[in-house]
């Protein structure tokens, strides 16, 4: 018997799906490391299990999505510190609360760099993979 391969339409979209799955794994891992003293160990375990599954089933070029996923907690920290730097006070019906906030710029820049690096590396690897096949 002779085996033939039929090109599957939408193959490129499925690689983006694997990339987004790795992005979620990277975000879960980074959040687990940030929350290590509370529920971080559980998040790290979930990220490791998901990574093992994705390594067995997914495309290898999509693993750089984990790098882009590390940006998600940094974006969240930038959002939380959006009023900073300095002391930020909020008035409620029951009183006033003040918190010290950092400048959000380093978190935003770091997140943007990680996200951009993950996407660029994925696009380069995906292009090479398509050219070789």
- Would the pLDDT of 10 be above 50? no
How far is 15 from 32, CA to CA, in rounded Å? 26
User: Is the whole model's pTM more than 0.85, yes or no?
Assistant: no
**Residues linked to residue 100 through DSSP beta bridges, in sequence order:** 87
* DSSP per-residue codes, 73-95: HHHHHHHHTTT-SEEEEEEETTE
**Band of residue 14 on the pLDDT scale cut at 50, 70, 90:** low
Q: What is the pLDDT of residues 25-40, one digit of tens each?
A: 998 998 898 888 888 8
Dihedral pair phi/psi, residue 108, rounded to 5°: -65, -45
Q: What is the pLDDT of residues 53-97, one digit of tens each?
A: 888 887 777 788 888 888 888 898 888 888 878 788 888 888 888
**Band of residue 124 on the pLDDT scale cut at 50, 70, 90:** confident
According to the model, what pLDDT value does residue 67 have? 85
Higher-confidence residue: 102 or 6? 102
Helix (H) or strand (E) holding 65: helix 65-69
User: Are the beta carbons of 99 and 55 closer than 8 angstroms?
Assistant: no
């Amino acid at each position: 018997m002779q085996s033939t391969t039929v090109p599957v339409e939408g193959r490129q979209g499925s690689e983006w799906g694997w990339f987004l799955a790795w992005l979620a794994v990277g975000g879960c891992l980074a959040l687990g490391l940030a929350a290590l003293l509370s529920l971080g160990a559980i998040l790290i375990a979930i990220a490791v299990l998901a990574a093992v599954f994705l390594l067995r089933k997914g495309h290898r070029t999509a693993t750089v999505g984990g790098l882009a996923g590390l940006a998600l907690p940094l974006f969240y920290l930038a959002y939380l510190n959006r009023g900073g730097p300095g002391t930020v006070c909020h008035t409620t019906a029951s009183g006033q609360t003040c918190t010290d906030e950092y400048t959000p710029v380093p978190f935003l820049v770091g997140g943007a760099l990680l996200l951009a690096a993950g996407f660029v590396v994925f696009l380069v690897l995906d292009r090479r993979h398509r050219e070789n096949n």
